[in-house]
Amino acid sequence: MNAIAYCGLACCVCSENKDCIGCQDGGCDIHGWCKNYNCCKAKGLNGCWECAEFPCSGSMLDKPRIRAFGEFARRYGVDELEKCLLRNKENGIVYHYEGQLIGDYDSCQTEEEIIDMIKNGR
């Protein structure tokens, strides 16, 4: 499984659907409406963070957490993003609260605070 979705969602720490292998590996059935998936596929990008138009609007990137994850990937690389997210998970930072699509990263007030939490933990 690819650790990070085209938009920046973190498949590597997602607890929402244990059977999902991620959109980059064909595991998501929402491609028809997903602007990020369709755009990245059309442009041959590994993720939105590689695009000169990042961040665009009217997509998953309208959500601060997802936009910040993409910005982190742009600055530091996808491998570093995955490494930091897995480390943070081991240290108790929760990506999704049980039964919800929000978690500790969503408690930050700004994109830069989210990026700081990814890089440095709490």
Q: Tell me: the pLDDT tens digits for 1-54?
A: 578 888 888 877 877 766 666 666 666 666 678 889 889 999 999 999 999 999
Does residue 115 carry a pLDDT above 80?
yes
In whole angstroms, what is the distance from residue 6 CA to residue 60 CA?
10
Per-residue pLDDT, 29: 67
Per-residue pLDDT, 34: 86
Confidence (pTM): 0.88
Q: Tell me: the pLDDT tens digits for 51-105?
A: 999 999 888 889 999 999 999 999 999 999 999 999 999 999 999 998 898 999 9
Per-residue pLDDT, 27: 65
Secondary element (H or E) of residue 40: helix 35-43
Per-residue pLDDT, 32: 72
User: Residue ranges of the domains in the chain?
Assistant: 11-120
**Eight-class DSSP state of 32:** T
In whole angstroms, what is the distance from residue 102 CA to residue 72 CA?
18
Q: Are 49 and 74 in contact (CB under 8 A)?
A: yes
Per-residue pLDDT, 9: 84
DSSP 69-115: HHHHHHHH-HHHHHHHHHHHHHTT--SS-TTSS--GGGG-SSHHHHH
